[in-house]
């Protein structure tokens, strides 16, 4: 067993990268795939907080600073998901040697089916390093110009590094009428759109319960999207019901949105 490493990236903060990473990972684990999620956002790690983990014993930062063993920093999470969280401690941040992350990942690669890396957003040393570890990348983007511009930069850097994209999640759709269409984003990035994730109050509700949305609200449109993509990644046939729900959601979006470039050829 050698894990496929999937790094979740975005060119702009606040688009939902960590939420996507958590729910995709939990969905993969729910399909009986041994999965580890790594919070590689060394500066602003939040996965431990979002899953309600007490990381005072050990965290990725402690491993990077040489004060803890890797096995001490891997926690049991929801759906039998394994979690390697970061620490919000300033002391831990200042002492972390990020250059050894690659060796850490390789040392446990044969223990998992999938390793999902939650990359820092934007373009910086740590995000580029997270990209370098990936077998495949998934871009998370909001349907607006600023998010698209950041996504295009990440795409260009990743292409230059020879790292392939699986595709992109368009997150928080259905908020405004003038948001960018799936087709415009797809054409600008040259990436397959894996799922349109609707703006969903259950995202915040699941955070309050410190549980992945795919577990707390499995019937929500966003959960259906994450589960569908996780099934495809895991090589599991998607049920007709799930496929129909995703197709119906897509048609609904096309009927109520228009592109900023409407009328242009």
- Ligand-binding site membership of 17 (annotated): yes
> Does the annotation list 16 as a binding residue?
yes
* Alpha carbon distances (Å) from 145 to 14, 82, 157, 261: 14, 35, 19, 12
Phi, psi of 79 (to 5 degrees): 65, 25
Largest CA distance in the chain: 60
Tell whether 19 is in a known binding site: yes
Alpha helices in the chain (DSSP H): 17-30, 47-50, 60-64, 70-73, 90-95, 101-108, 125-132, 145-160, 182-189, 201-208, 213-216, 221-234, 240-256
46 is in an annotated binding site: no
Closest residue by Cα to residue 226 from 11, 77, 31, 3? 31
- Residue 177: both structure tokens together: 């009428």
121 is in an annotated binding site: no
- Is 14 annotated for ligand binding? yes
Cβ density class 202-227: b for 16+ within 10 Å, e for less: bbeebbeeebbbbbbbeebbbbbbbb
Q: Per the structure block, which two tokens stand in for 259?
A: 């592109």
Residues at the binding site for ATP are 12-19
Q: Annotated binding residues, as ranges?
A: 12-19
């Amino acid at each position: 067993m050698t894990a496929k490493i999937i790094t979740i990236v975005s060119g702009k903060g606040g688009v939902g990268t960590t939420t996507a990473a958590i729910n995709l990972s939990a969905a993969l684990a729910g399909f009986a795939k041994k999965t580890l999620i790594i919070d590689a956002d060394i500066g602003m790690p939040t996965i431990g907080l979002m899953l309600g983990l007490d990381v005072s014993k050990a965290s990725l930062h402690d491993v990077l600073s040489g004060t803890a063993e890797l096995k001490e920093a891997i926690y049991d999470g929801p759906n039998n998901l394994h979690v390697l969280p970061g620490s919000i401690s300033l002391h831990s941040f200042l002492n972390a040697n990020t250059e050894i992350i690659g060796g850490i990942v390789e040392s446990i690669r044969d223990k998992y089916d999938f390793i999902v890396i939650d990359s820092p957003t934007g373009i910086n040393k740590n995000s580029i390093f997270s990209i370098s570890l990936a077998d495949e990348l998934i871009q998370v983007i909001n349907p607006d110009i600023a998010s698209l511009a950041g996504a295009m930069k990440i795409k260009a850097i990743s292409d230059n590094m020879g790292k392939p994209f699986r595709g992109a999640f368009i997150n928080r759709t259905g908020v405004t009428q003038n948001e960018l269409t799936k087709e415009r984003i797809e054409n600008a990035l040259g990436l397959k759109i894996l799922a349109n994730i609707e703006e969903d109050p259950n995202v915040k509700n699941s955070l309050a319960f410190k549980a992945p949305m795919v577990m707390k609200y499995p019937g929500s449109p966003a959960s259906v999207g994450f589960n569908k993509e996780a099934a495809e990644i895991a090589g599991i046939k998607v049920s007709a019901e799930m496929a129909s729900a995703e197709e119906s959601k897509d048609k609904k979006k096309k009927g109520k949105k228009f592109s900023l470039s409407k009328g242009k050829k």
